[in-house]
A and B are shown apart, each in its own frame.
Chain A
């Protein structure tokens, strides 16, 4: 199944990725803490953006990967895709949680409230619940083809829900007095080039982190499969 050469090769690739991610994060830290100037009106807390936005990007990207891998699984029925979808959903949920926690921390000093039922916040919260339910579904059935199929269906149904959530929440808010919308979150517009650069570096670092974590988790799941297989073999031979 897993030949030793391939494992070693994987390990080496993994090592390069570790170094790259480490370097990217070092660069991002230097940029966030030293290089980028402090925002005039918001002050230091504005630097939360360089964690908040990349985390959001990472989690949406991860959920998109879940969607793609779910389709591929139902099509090809290969365990490989199921592993990718699982790992990606897990990472997506972790970073979505980080978005949901750093959001209020940033909002409190700026808007004066921990939480506003703004369109983007609400959609992120619902998305988080959907994918937590996805992970719960995975613990609710024994490993095997059934779990993979069910999870894949939910992965597809959940992702297709995103446009509906987006529009419904957007129109829902417009019937109320408009909240103080995030003004400097729109990428590019009116943003200082140094800020844009910092955000770019941070985005790169988080994306690399995603691939690193994915690699580790996927390797782990494969190892687990292998051990389970050996155990079963042992059981039947005895």
Chain B
């Protein structure tokens, strides 16, 4: 068990060092998320529509789109320099690679989200500080589900012919339930409703996370097999 954790940490650490050296990915994700929010602000008339009604949807679309950039990079970078081969030659379980990638994707995306949230607050004039804890909980659940399924599919898509196109095509329809759930929950939280009033959505998102992490553990051997 200790070895398992060490191996995972090694992969996450490797991703961090690469990112700290280049800072490519993080800046790309952040700017892209910002652009998505701006485009939506231009396309929606905020003097007519209530900001708290369209806000959650826009926020999550920005998270998902920029998260996809991160996912696209995570396995493709390995693919380009033949690093994936090296990773697979390591005498470790395939699930180690999956969890390592899942955690590094999750951390990158979470950091990006923490930067976007204050901007969201300013642009939409929504006070999120009041409901910060439940909001962070929902963001945690949603991001985990996104990364669980996204890591699996990006490991798969990285071997396809047109990989950067195929990842969103494969991923987005499967993410529909979780997107509906988190957008609903975020909207309700911003309206000041307590978490206990949305147990069905929390249950749905949590079971989505658990089931897809489980499925990934079971199937990742078949994807990373050469």
Contact A165 B223 (CB under 8 A): no
A126 at interface (Cβ–Cβ under 8 A)?
yes
Contact B177 A167 (CB under 8 A): yes
A35 at interface (Cβ–Cβ under 8 A)?
no
Q: Which of A84-92, A130-138, A220-228 contacts B (4 or more CB under 8 A)?
A: A130-138
Number of A-B residue pairs at CB separation under 8 A: 81
Q: How far is the CB of A140 from chain B (nearest CB, A)?
A: 4
**Interface digits, B145-160 against A, CB 8 Å rule (1 contact, 0 not)?**
0000100110010011
Residue of A nearest to B171 (CB): A133
By a CB distance below 8 angstroms, the chain B residues around A74 are: 219, 222
Contact of A165 among B149, B177, B215, B225 (CB under 8 A): B177
* Chain A interface extent, by class: 20 to 34
By a CB distance below 8 angstroms, the chain A residues around B201 are: 171
By a CB distance below 8 angstroms, the chain B residues around A165 are: 176-177
By a CB distance below 8 angstroms, the chain A residues around B169 are: 133, 136
Contact B200 A171 (CB under 8 A): yes
Q: Which of A26-34, A41-49, A144-152, A229-237 contacts B (4 or more CB under 8 A)?
A: A144-152
Residue of B nearest to A154 (CB): B170
Contact of B178 among A129, A160, A164 (CB under 8 A): A164
Contact A172 B173 (CB under 8 A): no
A72 at interface (Cβ–Cβ under 8 A)?
no
Main secondary structure of the interface of B (DSSP, over half): helix
A175 at interface (Cβ–Cβ under 8 A)?
yes
| Number of B residues, CB within 8 Å of A | 31
Given contacts A154-B156, A175-B184, contact A126 B166 (CB under 8 A): no
The 8 closest A-B pairs by CB, nearest first: A168-B177, A164-B177, A140-B160, A129-B173, A168-B180, A130-B173, A149-B222, A153-B219
Provide the bound-state CA to CA distance between A160 and B210, in Å: 12
By a CB distance below 8 angstroms, the chain B residues around A167 are: 177, 200, 204
Provide the bound-state CA to CA distance between A169 and B184, in Å: 11
Contact A160 B215 (CB under 8 A): yes
A161 at interface (Cβ–Cβ under 8 A)?
yes
Contact B166 A136 (CB under 8 A): yes
Provide the bound-state CA to CA distance between A1 and B176, in Å: 44
Most chain B Cβ neighbours within 10 Å, of A136, A149, A164: A164
